[in-house]
A and B are shown apart, each in its own frame.
Chain A
Amino acid sequence: MTPDRFEDHCWKDAVPQDLIDLYAPYARETFVGPKPALLCIDFYNIVYRGGAKPPLEIQDEHPNTCGMYAHASIEPTKKLIAAARMAGVPIFYCTQDFRPMNRPAGVGSTKRQKVAWKKEDFDIYEPLAPQEGDVVIYKQRASIFQGTPIISHLNYLGVQSLIVCGESTSGCVRASCVDAYSNGFHVSLVEECTFDRHELIHKINLFDLHHKYVDVMHLDEVVQHLGSFSEGKVAAE
């Protein structure tokens, strides 16, 4: 997307004009980089539980749910994953590490009050489930890069840039995006396939990430770009 549409995103109604003006030096063209992989951050069962309702109404019964925000992203995310598959782009998922004896006490992805989770709680939500040939990364902290082999996998596949979607915008998506940027990858974060538990925190974190570290892009732009791969219009070199 061209620089004049740099602020054409969901945070428009939440960010005051003086802040937009203050961040003017970050405006630039946004794009999907060469040889991308798709990262699907934490699409596990618990964030969809309780249905398409405001999280505050259902979180007592369904801790960590993203409710209506999770459900609104299901169809867009299906489209994104399908486009990536069609284009032959490697697809990575991540979820909580449940392997035996895997950590000392006190290791978690946030400081939220602990719940006695089961492994099934962190299986990938079935409508978005990985297929054979995809890679699932088991992580213990917020970022998909922290304490995982993902960089060696990306190098093995010759991946040079990343398309990211997932949840929560303020937590694991943000941490993963900052680490991806710090490790030298161009990141395209897909707005419609990313969500959190509250609109405000979602928008402000997207605003931060977009200006400083990643290109927040719309689903249709990214899908159109991936479509050009399968039509052979993009010479991958």
Chain B
Amino acid sequence: MQDEMNHSWDPFLTDRDKAVFKASGFGATGGFGKRPAILVIDINYAFTGERREPILESIKHWSNSCGEDAWDALPHVQKLLEAGRSKGLPVIYTTGVRRPDGWDGGSWLWKNSRGGERKQTRDTQARDGNEINELIAPHPQDIMVYKQKPSGFAGTPLLSYLTLLRADSVIVVGTTTSGCVRATVIDAFSHNFRVAVMEEGCFDRSQASHAINLCDMHAKYADVVSTDTVVDFIDSLPDGLFAATAPQAAE
């Protein structure tokens, strides 16, 4: 996103779409909260591949890979994490978890013809696809949420962590924009957290899905914002917002 008037999804919209959004009031700026937590959704080797290569090459090894778009996003995620850690913001990663026998794949196995192949791919490679990409590896104080479904909130303790940390908002990056990012964003919105989606830190295997899902989220659930805007906001926050991690007695 270059500026407020010039969105990455514009080329995908019809003239009527643009007129409807303008007339109906969607896409207003919701604003950042005061106590943001950072959510890094599924930026693991299954979605980035182990090296930068064209997506159709990368998919031969990792069926979920988003190819070069993932590696374009990684430096932006690094900037976000550096800014967030300098202020002590909570950094919460999500990644997948599955039993060795794959039984708990559940509904995933109904919708992907290569679903059963995934385990085999993992087994034949040295690396676990659920390992976070080392370029944005978690630090010891970060939190890992192990999930099995698109939303970081589904079947996980994430909501209780945000409550415990007294977070009022989330800044979201990760993948896929149309899948786990969108599902997590909608659940965060539904729980009345303010949501910022950092556009250059999100990626998808489908270019059209990436753009249209950003458009949908910006219209209804979140502010889709640039890396610079997010970093400026974080830099403006007071130090030590989350210094007391456990609940304290009221003063």
Enumerate chain A interface residues (CB-CB to B < 8 A): 99-107, 135, 140-141, 146-153, 156
In order of increasing CB-CB distance, the 7 nearest A-B pairs are: A147-B157, A149-B155, A106-B246, A101-B144, A156-B106, A105-B245, A149-B148
Any A CB within 8 A of the CB of B156:
yes
Distance, CA A106 to CA B245, complexed state (A): 8
On chain B, the residues within 8 Å of A107 by CB distance are 157, 160-161, 164
> In the complex, how many angstroms separate the beta carbon of A48 from the nearest chain B beta carbon?
26
Distance, CA A151 to CA B155, complexed state (A): 8
Task: Judge whether A149 and B144 touch: CB under 8 Å.
Answer: no
On chain A, the residues within 8 Å of B145 by CB distance are 102
Any A CB within 8 A of the CB of B229:
no
Task: Judge whether B107 and A149 touch: CB under 8 Å.
Answer: no
Which chain B residues in 98-142 approach chain A with CB under 8 Å? Answer: 103-104, 106-107, 138, 140, 142
Partner of A152, one of B140, B146, B155, B247: B155
Closest partner residue, chain B, to A147 (CB atom):
B157
How many pairs of residues, A versus B, come closer than 8 Å at their CB atoms? 65
Closest partner residue, chain A, to B247 (CB atom):
A106
Encode contact with A along B153-174: 1 for CB under 8 Å, 0 otherwise. 0111111110011000000000
Task: Judge whether B160 and A141 touch: CB under 8 Å.
Answer: yes
On chain A, the residues within 8 Å of B246 by CB distance are 105-106
Partner of A99, one of B104, B144, B247: B144
Closest partner residue, chain B, to A140 (CB atom):
B157
Enumerate chain B interface residues (CB-CB to A < 8 A): 90, 97, 103-104, 106-107, 138, 140, 142-146, 148-149, 154-161, 164-165, 245-247
Partner of A106, one of B104, B107, B164: B164
Distance, CA A107 to CA B161, complexed state (A): 8
Task: Judge whether B143 and A153 touch: CB under 8 Å.
Answer: no
Task: Judge whether A152 and B154 touch: CB under 8 Å.
Answer: yes
6 pairs, A vs B, C-beta closer than 8 Å: A104-B90, A105-B245, A141-B157, A148-B156, A149-B155, A149-B156
> In the complex, how many angstroms separate the beta carbon of A61 from the nearest chain B beta carbon?
29
Closest partner residue, chain B, to A102 (CB atom):
B144
On chain A, the residues within 8 Å of B158 by CB distance are 147
Task: Judge whether A104 and B144 touch: CB under 8 Å.
Answer: no
A141-B160, A149-B149, A152-B148 known; A102-B247 Cβ under 8 A: no
> In the complex, how many angstroms separate the beta carbon of B133 from the nearest chain A beta carbon?
16
Distance, CA A100 to CA B144, complexed state (A): 7
On chain A, the residues within 8 Å of B146 by CB distance are 99, 102
> In the complex, how many angstroms separate the beta carbon of A136 from the nearest chain B beta carbon?
9
Distance, CA A73 to CA B90, complexed state (A): 43
Distance, CA A100 to CA B145, complexed state (A): 10
Closest partner residue, chain B, to A100 (CB atom):
B144
Task: Judge whether A148 and B160 touch: CB under 8 Å.
Answer: no
Task: Judge whether A156 and B107 touch: CB under 8 Å.
Answer: yes
Task: Judge whether B138 and A101 touch: CB under 8 Å.
Answer: yes
On chain B, the residues within 8 Å of A148 by CB distance are 155-156
Partner of B142, one of A101, A146, A150, A152: A101
A147-B160, A148-B155, A149-B148 known; A101-B247 Cβ under 8 A: no
On chain A, the residues within 8 Å of B247 by CB distance are 106
Task: Judge whether B104 and A149 touch: CB under 8 Å.
Answer: yes
